[in-house]
Structure 1
Amino acid sequence: MSDAQFDVAIVGGGLAGGLIALALHRARPEFRIALIEAGKTIGGNHRWSWFDSDLSVAGRALLHGFRQTGWDSGYDVEFPTHRRTLKTAYRSMASHEFHEGLLRDLPKDAVMLGRKAAALDARGVDLEDGSRIDARAVIDCRSFQPSEHLYGGWQVFLGRHMRLAQPHGLERPTIMDATVDQVAPHGNGGAYRFVYVLPLGAHDVFVEDTYYADDPQLDRSALSSRIDAYTREHGWDDTAIVGHEAGVLPVLTGGDFAAYQREIAVPGVTIAGARGGFTHPLTSYTMCVAVENALAIAEEADLSGQQLAAMFEARARKHWRKTGYYRLLARLLFFAAKPERRVKVFQRFYTLREGLIERFYAARSKPLDKMRVLSGKPPVPIPAAMVAMFKRGKPLKSGSVKDSPQTDISTETKA
């Protein structure tokens, strides 16, 4: 059984897949697009945040139709011996806002929810219900696939959107409050821990507990208790929990990317999103690269499926080479600094110039930026740093994240 022919079938309705569908529809409204998502909503259960300076004019235009929360007054960071307000405007969008915006802007028959792909090929998608979507081009935007060819650590997080009884009085987000206890919640030693706070309205606040940890264990109960303690400390009495997110993300320290590409490749199928390697290795940040990839696909919409797949395979290799510096920094973080002292690495980083910090998060660091990050008094021992430069780390294999009620592998990056 086959549905009608589509110009493009996109498998995976997360950030990458949804933005590609939107960019294609705006550039080529005559195209028949299928956005295929196994879940009941587009975007899952996530919150994405970004710096306004990360996006080009075209990128801001692509996101313009979505409901967002913004802070033009900048954001705060807090560390044990350093506090700072940075002036860069900050933006945030919840997955339900992404879902609503795409349903509003895309053709009614373009979004296919609750339909899971069983197999992909260059000419279409076989669904688990036995039906098939035929398409001239197929784009795979499913979640990151752990692999023995990639190495690194993990970013573990749990966030809660609360509605408070009284106004919280916050003017700006705090994107890193690292004054909190640096011990991992599950008893396996230390981790770089910070709390992320977004004032979403006068009574609404989003609080997230995040760890850069050696293992991917997500103990929801422990992290939830720590959020309870944090909110009590700030005098925030929540009357309702509006939403939440939780997940485990890879922090890449190295690997054989060519072997990884061979492992996930489907001949003639374009691979985009985190699955294709389009992420910031150290921060797991994807918004700016997801936007630019969507615009690139829309610009080359007339390419055949084979040509588009080849273009994105080369684009992924270029992105891997470009982000090698950040994998080096990830090695220094995980292998040169003791877990409970990783906070010093980030504390020193946030003493640097604001423009350097902006470019870092967008993976656009200039040569002088890179030198400045590594110069001066190092926050890690020099001998340990020299050894760390040549370490690979643990393979990010599929078995690394245990399948249990307390552990979840995130399908999207959170920022």
Structure 2
Amino acid sequence: MVDSVRNPEKSTTAPHDVVIVGGGLAGGLIALALHRHAPDCRFVVIEAGRRFGGHHRWSWFETDIRPKARSLMDGFDVNGWDEGYDINFPGLGRTLPTAYRSLASAEFHAKLMAELPAERVMLETRAAALDAGGVTLADGARIAARRVIDCRPFKSSQALSGGWQVFLGQQLRCDTPHGLTRPVIMDASVDQLAPHGNGAAYRFVYVLPLSPTDVFIEDTYYADQPKMDAGVLRGRVAEYAHRQGWTGEIVDSEAGILPVISGGDFDAALAEVAIPGVALAGARGGFSHPLTSYTLPFAVDNALAIAHLIAKAPDLSGSELAAFCHRRAKRHWRATAYYRMLSRMLFEAAEPDKRVVVFEHFYALQGKLVERFYAGRSTWPDRLRILTGKPPVAIPRAIRALFSSGKPLNMETPA
């Protein structure tokens, strides 16, 4: 059962201060930040689905979120591992000390429903059109707003280039304790030539021990095309569990295809989704890590920045908020240029079945460097260190990739 749909009055004479369209990670966190830090703001969040967050699991390293911003995640029922995490490659196995966190969308939804006032939430409500003055719903109702924030899902674009992260995960409730105490962020000791309906690709298995008997196993590929053979991936998860000696019942499952952006014309891509006077946030607005596709740390930063701005400047116009978010997106794009270059190296300089060597080379580096990489805060010495030493790819191919514009993100609808 899901919570009853909350529908505040759909036609008001006084416009809302903010309407958030999309109750995924970005939209939900903006709503929470406004509730906590801009208490006088009259906002509403509109979500087409039956619950916030859809059906996902978001994970991050504790150090990905700046210390002053971590309080936004207070109160969420988060899985956490303070003893670090493991990685496994054909020629390398390590335990790194960074604490790791993971949040399931069911817990995300439960927390938002418990904390947000009922009149601030509209579930199972589809937005048909957005503009600077509000939102028109699919049933024709109109919600007037002084500011509108578009947090709908990422839309692929021929203006962007890169590849895809294809994944399917299942939560196994084991018959006996599985014995894991730490996450396995990458187990790339698995077959790199395994068929999966997408050609050769860099493959790894991601494992989270959620309880003494529950373990989340995800089969992941960095692939050239946004295609998935879910049956094959489910078989790979079952095979991995069998090799570990784990038997039991599958109690949950999720799958997805995320962009791994290596370059492109960011202004053109934004122009394809931008609406005059409407602010863009979330992955749709370009706020993700280009190589890992992590979004939560950037969603936290954006939510707090927007809430603090509105609390400080309650008369801020919708166009001014849109310009504020646009400037943040442009800064983020510039700040992550290095990671897009590494994405080009991965997809264009390394043969698909040899991409594992690139990641093995990276994970042999110093732990703090790895921390800063995931947080998107690599220093210049970090960047040089990643590119020095014995090259994991052929130098001529690396040079071509360095100056390449990348492969356009395929507009084909993922299977």
Shorter-chain TM-score bucket reads: over 0.9
Paired position in structure 2 for 1:382: 395
- 2:134 maps to a residue whose letter is G
- Contact 1:139–1:270 (Cα < 8 Å) also in 2: yes
**Percent identity of paired positions between Structure 1 and Structure 2:** 59
Match of 1:259 in 2: 268
CA distance in 1, matches of 2:47, 2:328: 24
Distance in 2, matches of 1:393 and 1:47, equals: 29
Tell me the SS of whatever aligns to 1:357.
helix
Structure-2 residue corresponding to 1:269: 278
User: Given that residues 185 and 219 in structure 1 are in contact (C-alpha distance below 8 angstroms), is that contact kept between their aligned partners in structure 2?
Assistant: no
Partner of 2:253: 244
The structure 1 residue matched to 2:140, chosen from 122, 130, 137, is 130
Give ranges in structure 1 of 5+ residues lacking alignment: 408-415
1:164 aligns with 2:174: yes
Matched, 1:353 2:366: yes
* Displacement of 1:188: 4.8
Give 1:184 deviation, angstroms. Answer: 4.8
Query: Does the 8 A contact of 2:264 with 2:406 survive in 1?
Result: no
The equivalent of 2:413 in structure 1 is 401
The 4+ residue runs of structure 1 with deviation greater than 6 A are: none
Shift of 1:287: 1.2
Unpaired runs of 5+ residues, structure 2, are: 1-9
Distance in 2 between residues matched to 1:189 and 1:135, nearest whole Å: 47
How many Å separate the matches in 2 of 1:119 and 1:215?
Answer: 30
Report whether the alignment pairs 1:371 with 2:367.
no
CA contact (8 A) 2:167 2:255 kept: yes
Superposition TM-score, scaled by structure 2 size: 0.95
Contact map agreement 1:185 1:223 (CA 8 A) in 2: no
Measured in 2, the distance between the counterparts of 1:286 and 1:259 equals 21
Out of 7, 10, 25, which is 2:17 matched to? 7
Say whether 1:214 aligns with 2:224: yes
Counterpart among 278, 303, 306 of residue 294 in structure 1: 303
Structure 1 CA distance for aligned equivalents of residues 410 and 23 of structure 2: 24
The Cα offsets for residues 324-357 of structure 1, whole Å up to 9 and x where unpaired, read as: 1001000000001000000000001001111110
Counterpart for residue 226 of structure 1? 236
2:357 is equivalent to residue 344 of structure 1: yes
Q: Residue by residue, what CA displacement relative to the aligned partner does 1:149-187 show, whole Å, maximum 9, x if unpaired?
A: 011111000001111110001010001000001125335
Report the alpha carbon displacement of residue 395 of structure 1 after superposing the two structures with TM.
1.8
1:175 aligns to 2:182 (yes or no) = no
2:46 is paired with a residue whose SS is strand
Matched to 1:98, the amino acid is F
Structure 2 partner of 1:109: 119
Residue 397 of structure 1: how far off its partner (Å): 4.1
Q: State the distance in 2 between where 1:396 and 1:184 align.
A: 23
Between the aligned partners of 1:44 and 1:401, the Cα distance in structure 2 is 19
Equivalent AA in structure 2 for residue 166 of structure 1? T
Structure 1 residue 63, shift from structure 2 partner: 0.2
Aligned length: 401
TM-score, normalised with respect to structure 1: 0.95
1:317 aligns with 2:327: no
* 2:340 paired residue among 327, 332, 340: 327
User: Shift of the alpha carbon at 1:389?
Assistant: 1.1
Aligned amino acid, residue 343 of structure 1: V
